[in-house]
Amino acid sequence: MIRINLIRDRTVALKRPTIEPKFTRLGGLMFVIVFLNLAGLGWWYRSLILERAARLSQQEKLDSEATRLKTIYDKVKDHEKQKKQLDERIDIIEKLKESQVGPVELLNKVKASVPEQMWLTSLAQTADAISIDGNFLREEVLPMFIKNLELTRYFTNVDLNFYEKEREGDRHRFSLRCQVANKK
């Protein structure tokens, strides 16, 4: 009779077949493809990091340049504002100089007309009329003064309003009025 043991002996270890890895061309090709993909991704990631760093550096330079240019722009604005103020002041000064020409010319003409031994005590202008008060020592000085005023052609209608000789001394007082001629 044949005996078959259906129950396995547990004491005997089962041998499993071992699979040894074999290097195949397909496996090597897959390894190279995966390695190249990983290397390409690493290079691409590194280039992105370097590009980001370069752009951040460039942005910092541009920000510092923008700050520098803003300060220059503010200075230019301040200088333009100062220039505008100075131009306005210059215009005002020129207008004042133009308005002073009349009184300065008037005083120069009067001064040139005053002979020696005469001095003026007041000079007043109202519109085109001028009143002059003064003193002199010799009697021939007053007609000379009136004649000098008329010869300037700056004054017209020179009229003597008042003349008086003081009781003590040689001093004489006078007052006269005249018109400023039109300067056309």
Report the CATH number at residue 140. Answer: 3.30.1360
The answer as to whether 153 is a domain residue is yes
Contacts of 171 (CB under 8 A, 6+ apart): 135, 136, 137, 165
Separation between Cα atoms, residue 178 and residue 155, nearest integer Å: 6
Assessment of whether the complete model's pTM goes beyond 0.85: no
The answer as to whether 83 is a domain residue is no
The answer as to whether 25 is a domain residue is no
The answer as to whether 156 is a domain residue is yes
Position with higher pLDDT, 183 vs 122 = 122
The answer as to whether 161 is a domain residue is yes
The answer as to whether 52 is a domain residue is no
Structural domains of the chain, count: 1
Angle at the Cα of 153 from the Cα atoms of 151 and 154, rounded to 5 degrees: 120
Convert the pLDDT of each residue in 2-46 to its tens digit: 777 666 666 655 667 777 777 788 888 999 999 999 999 999 999
The answer as to whether 44 is a domain residue is no
Convert the pLDDT of each residue in 135-164 to its tens digit: 988 888 888 988 988 888 888 888 888 888
The answer as to whether 26 is a domain residue is no
Residue-level pLDDT at 177: 92
Separation between Cα atoms, residue 68 and residue 88, nearest integer Å: 30
Q: How confident is the model at residue 184 (pLDDT cuts 50, 70, 90)?
A: very low
> What is the extent of the structural domain holding 143?
114-180
Q: For 104, what's the count of Cα atoms within 13 Å in the CB-facing half-sphere?
A: 6
Q: How confident is the model at residue 183 (pLDDT cuts 50, 70, 90)?
A: low
